[in-house]
Amino acid sequence: MNRGNFLELLHYTAEQNEEYRLVASENAPGHDKLIAPSIQKDIINAFAVETINKLISDLGDVFFSILVEEARDGSNKEQMAIILRYVNKRGCVVECLLSIMHVTDTTALTLKMGIKTLFSKYNLSISRLHGQGYDGASNMRGQFNGLKALILKDNEYAFYVHCFAHQLQLALVAVAKKDTNIERLFLKVSCVINIVGWSPRCRDLLNEKQALKVKKAIESGELSTRQDLQLSELNSRFNEGNTKLLICMASLNPSDCFQAFDKGKLVRFAQFYPLEFSSIDLMAFELQLDNYINDMRSNSDFSELNDITSLAQKMVEKKKHLIYSLVYLLITLALTLLVATASVERAFSAMKIVKTHLRNWMGDQFLNDSLIPYVEKDMFDSVDKEMVMQRFLNMKPRRGQ
C-alpha cells in the first residue's frame, strides 16, 4: 500500500490543499505528473546544485579549510566526505558539506585527486586553502606520503591540526594501556554493575562511598592521578610548529577583558602567513594592535565576550573589522584553523539514515544530491526556489515546459 515517501507526501498534500489538488496527479495539465523516478532525481539534483551554489557564493574569495574523512556506506562502497570551514561576511564560522564522493580506495593520492577534482569543479583555488583537519590515520597525516603532506607540497600554509577530540582519545587509550591495573579495574566494574546496577539507591550510595575513598587516597599519596603521564602523551601528539601556532592563536581570546592578549605572540602568529602579512603589513599590524587593544578594553560592547568566534561577529556588527582590518584578518585566519572534525562525523551519520541496507541501490550522484539538502538544512532553506525550478526546466526538454 505504501508507494514511497515522495508519492505519499504528494497525495497527502493534495488531500489537504484544494488549490494543489486541482493541478496534481490525475488532474495535472497534459498528464504531466512529474512523479517518475528520473524526475524525482532531477528535482533533488536541482536543489542540491543550488544549495552548493549558495555555499560557494557565501564563501566568496575568503580563505577556507577542509575537513576530510572516508567511510563505507550501506553498500560497502568507500565514500569521502569533504566539508569547508570559513568565516563569512558576518563574522560567523561556517562548516558546510561540499560533497560526498565515491573513491575507489583510501590511499592518500586517490583522496587528493578527488579533492583536486572537486576544487576544479567549483573553481576553488588551493592557494586559498589555509587549514586541514583529519583523523590520525596514516593515509591522512603521514609525514611523507599522507594526504596532509601531499597538500602541503602544493600549499605550505595549509596548516594541519589533528582533531583534538581524537588526540585526547588516543592519549587516554595509550595511558590506559601502560597501566596493568586497568584490565582488573574493568573486570571489577562489570561485576559491580551486575550487583548494584538494578537499584538507583545502591548506585548513589556506591558513588558517594567511592568518591570519598578516592579523595582520601589521593590526599594521602596512596593513589597517583598519573597526570604527568597524561600530559606527556598529549604533548607527544603535537608537533612543534602546530604548538607554536596554537599558543600564539590563544592570545586573541577576548575573555576576562582580553587578559590573554600578547602583542609579541600575535606578531609571531601573523608571521606564519607571509603571503597575507608582508614586512610592511607587519609594521602596520603592530601599530593597529596598540590601538585595537586599548579600544577593546575600553569598549563595553566587547567586555563580556568569551571566545574568538563571538569577537569576530561583534567586530563586524560594530564595523571594527574595517578599522582594524589586519587584526580582523588574523582573527579570521585563526577561526579557519580546525580543532575538531565533528562535522564530518555528522555527515556520515546522515549517510546511514539516507542510504540504509534497504536502500543500498542508491547511485553515488543520487546519494550526494540527497545528502546535501538533508545535512545543510539552513543553507538549503535559503535557496531561491525559482532558481531551482529554472534549473530543473533547463536540464532537458520537458512536456510541461
Please name which of 159, 162, 163 lies closest in space to residue 65, comparing C-alpha atoms.
Answer: 159
Most confident residue range from 12-16, 31-35, 219-223, 241-245: 12-16
Give the Cβ contact number of residue 131 at 10 Å.
22
Per-residue pLDDT, averaged over 74-80, amounts to 84
Give the global pTM: 0.77
Q: Which domains does the chain have, with CATH numbers?
A: 1-35 (no CATH), 47-163+339-381 (3.30.420), 166-235 (no CATH), 239-336 (no CATH)
CA atoms of 213 and 207, how far apart (whole Å): 10
Can you give the pLDDT at residue 48?
95
The kind and range of the H/E element at 83 are strand 78-87
pLDDT band at 229 (very low <50, low <70, confident <90, very high): low
Set of cell numbers at residue 167: 588526540
Tens digits of residue pLDDT in 81-107: 899 999 999 999 999 999 998 888 888
Per-residue pLDDT tens over the stretch 318-362: 999 999 999 999 999 999 987 666 777 788 888 888 887 777 778
Task: Say what percent of the chain tops pLDDT 90.
Answer: 43
pLDDT tens, residue by residue, 157-183: 888 876 666 666 666 667 666 777 776
> What's at 179, amino acid-wise?
D
Is the confidence at residue 276, as pLDDT, over 90? yes
